[in-house]
Every structure is written in C-alpha cells, then in structure tokens.
Chains A and B, each alone.
Chain A
Amino acid sequence: MDPRIGTALTVLIGVPAVLIGYIYLTEIALRALPERYKPRARPWLWLLPALAFLFVFLIYPTIGTFIRSFRNADDTDFIGLNNFQKFVSSDATLIALRNNILWVIFLTVFCVGIGLLIAVLVDRVRYESWAKGVIFLPLAISAVAASLIWKFMFDYQPPGEPQTGTMNAFIGVFGISPVPWLQIDTFALNTFALIGVMAWMWTGFAMVIISASLKSISAELLEAARVDGANEWQVFRRIVFPLLLPTIAVVSTTMIITALKAFDIVYTMTGGNFNTDVIANLMYKQISFGDFGFASAIAVVLLIAIVPIMGVNIRRFQAQEAIR
C-alpha cells in the first residue's frame, strides 16, 4: 500500500480530532480559573490556533521579508537601499513594472467592462443561466490549464506549414499571414494576449457579482423611467449604471489585486520571455537564483503597491459595520 495513504488518513481523521479535542481541553482548563476570569480568557483560547497561524505564516514572514530587502543575497550583510536601487535601474524590472501597470489597467477594464456588458445582455434572454455558466466556467480551472488552452489558440507555425492554431487559422481564412502572437512585443502585443487569457478566466467573476447587483434594482423604478419616456440607453446610463457603481468599485479592487499578483499565466505561457515579465514572476526567478535580498526587495515593492487597496478595504469594511 502506498505509505502516503496512511499519512493522509492520519491527517484526515487526526487533525479534526486534535482541533476539536483542543476546544474541549480549553473548557477543562478553564474550570481551574475563578468564575469571573473565564469569559475573559476563553476568547483568546479559541482564537489561539488562528492567531498562531496568522502570525507564523503572514505577519512574521512579512516583517522578515521587509528586513531582508535591505540585506545581501545570502543574508550576511546589511547593504542599505542597494536592492531597491537595483530594482529601479535594471531594464528587466522596469519592463516588469510597466507590464504590471498594463495588467492592472487593462485586466480591470476588460473584466469589469465585459462583465457588465454580459450581465446587462443576459438579463434579457431566456437562456441566461446557460450563458452565465459558460462565461463563469473558466474560473474553476487552473491558470495552468487555461494557459494550455490559450497557448494552443495562439499556436504559430511558419508560413507555408498548416496552421493548426485557431487564431492563425482564422486570420488565414482572410489571407493574413500567421502571427507569432506570444513573441511580438511591439505595442506589448504579447502582454495584451496574456492579459486577454486572464480576462477570459476572470470576466465570469465580475459578471456574477454585477449581475447579482443588477437583479436587486427594483423593476418598478426602471418601468417608471420608461413610462416617463426614457429610452433603454437613458435608463441604463442614468439609473442602472449609477446604482451599480458601488459594486463595480468592489469588483475593481479585486481585479487590481489579481492583476498585481499575476503569475501562473506568465510562468506557463512565456516564462517572462519576449518582454512579458511581471513582478511576481521576477520575484520567483530571484528565489530560484538564490538572491534572497533582491527577491525580498521585489516582494516589498509588490506589498507597497497593494497597501493602499488594503486601506480601501478596511475603510469599506468599517463603513459596513457601522450600518450593521
């Protein structure tokens, strides 16, 4: 028998048993405490496993990375801002930075724009759930599988060979010669191709949330506007869109974070070659090269880019708690 099955069974039964056992144990331990301290101590015992994991896997390493970003490759010496200087002076990082900016702008615009378009369109057809399912499905598959699906779409054979890639076969019908989509970096064409793949995966996410918000707009309100003589475009522009704005803002922040963290698609489709690199892939490459100082500095840049969004999230959360 595969020895891993033994381990897996131990984990499957053991871990829940240990965790639930822990909660029972805290109750027994609490009996030793005087009555008035019990309600004070109990929450901390319940939170302890979660706080321990959060500290060890998120807080401590973030501080560690921050410190390491000021140290050299093998973590033996303090080198001040050298790693950050390297970041702003190397062509590779600047291209990655430019690409990430393209990712943030265009992934957000594509996903939110097309998601909104689809949500509004399918609201008017009877096969709505089918259409939504089709758009939504890519969200369930891995970015690696999505990359394969699209690498095949973009497949390129030299002119004269049979074009089996769908895109090149399609443009071939119109007599256009085949294009090596993933290698052309003029106007960052290949980066846009990669962003398109990510948009194919994530548009369903934007669509589902916008669609749920769309359904919550009262039909009477829209009917009243139509009776007053507003045409469909005016109804959308003046009523539906403003009511959807808060939802669109929420979806946009999620898409911005997704774009900043983009990794799998670049790693699988181009490996960052042909000027398609992004910060997350650059950082992974530095880990595999063993330059932990520089890798840490890249991670810190990524963190700094995300911190403002963290602020927005917290403020929105507090606003919600206020109306709860």
Chain B
Amino acid sequence: MSARGLARGVIIAFGATYLLLPLAGVLEFAMRMRRGVYSFDAFFTVFEDHRFGDTFLYSTVMALVTVLIGMLIVLPAAYAVRLHAPRLRATVEFVTLLPLVVPAIVIVFGYVRLYGSDSWLPLTDSDFGADALLAFGYVTLSLPYIYRSVDAGLSSMDVRTLSEAAESLGARPVTVLLRVVLPNIRTSILSGAFLTAAIVLGEFTFASLLDRPAFGPFMQLLGASRAYEPAALSLVAFAFTWGLMALIGAIGGRRKGT
C-alpha cells in the first residue's frame, strides 16, 4: 500500500473510531448495572419506567402534530410561491432559514416573553396552550427542513404545467394541491417528516423551558438522578435517530431509482 493510501486509511479509521467509540462506551456502561456481570438490566429498568412510555408517547404525538402543522403551512406557501409569486421566493426562503441562524434558546426566550403569564396572550398558563406553543416552536425549528424537502419535491416536477392541466380539466386549486401535487411529492414530504421527527423526539431546550412532559427533559432528569439507565436511554435514542436517517436514506435511494 502506498504512503498516501496508508494515510487515507488511518484518517478514515480515526473518524470511524471517534464516531463509534462513544457508542461502545455507552453500551458497555449500560451493561454494567448488575455488579460483576454484564447484563441488559438497565434497558429493562428504563422500559419498565412508566415515564419512559409517557414521555416518549408525548414526544411522538408532538412530532406528528409538528409535521402536520408544518406541512399545512409550508406546502401552500411553497406551491403559491412557485405558481403565483416567484418574486416572494427569496423572502420565503430567507424566513425559512432564520431558525438555523437564531438559536433555539433565543426563540424560546422570545416565546416565554411574548406568550408568558403576564403577556397579551398567556399561552403558557394552560396545558393546552403550552402544548400548542411547544408544537409551534417545533414547527419553527423544523421550518428549514420541511421547506427544503417540499421545495425539492416541487422542483422535481413541472408544477405549473401539471396545475394548468388539472385546472383545464375543471379541478379547483385545493383539489389540484391535494390530488395532483401532493401525491407527486410524497417521498420528499416523507423525508422532511422523518428529519423533523428526529429533531423533535429528543428535543430538550424548548420542552424544558416550556415545562412540558417530553422525552428530552425526561432523559435529562434521569441523567441527573441515575447512573446506568441514562446510558441505556442514550443507545435507544441513537437507535431511533439511526432508524429515521435510514428511512430517509431508503426513500432518497428509491426516488433516485425511479
């Protein structure tokens, strides 16, 4: 092997080790729960904790709601921008990129101030209001990803011609959106949805500061009070992230194939 080939191998091995070693470490740590032998006790303890199920369910529902609201807001906007208002495109794109620029903690700070107890619209005072605010916050966080995936889907088809064809057959704009556009960008929407789910499921800052019973704060709480269970939880979270990324990859791969 050439010196250059050897150097490439060493660098790649270093990168792979850096990304895999913590997983090995956390697995080994999680299995140390029973003194003297390796066991999966920590995993069972975590799964048996009712708060695990409760918070995970809460975050899953939150992820679904986020995707739903996000699509309801972004899809008509992206469609309209392409079809009727191309001049607004740059502005819409800019707005969707803002959540990447403004850190999440700043956005939630703004929420607490604008929708807190003594504000004009005290959303945080009721559970439903706080849930709604969290969902809106998550929609905001995932705007860049949802918009990008929808826009990529729309750009892969000739929106204008398809819409005109449908309208010439007597379809109303809403029908066009639901029956023509949506089915054609299904795969893009799915990949955006999975990415959103990956972000929302373990999100900590928003949920913690809005005091919601979500999975992220639960993990943090467990980490502050237990030793081995958080390690098990960490692996579960990694597995979920991996699964969602794999789904996105599978969708992307299939789309390329067709």
- A and B from one complex: no
Which B residues form the contact surface with A (CB < 8 A)? none
Which A residues form the contact surface with B (CB < 8 A)? none
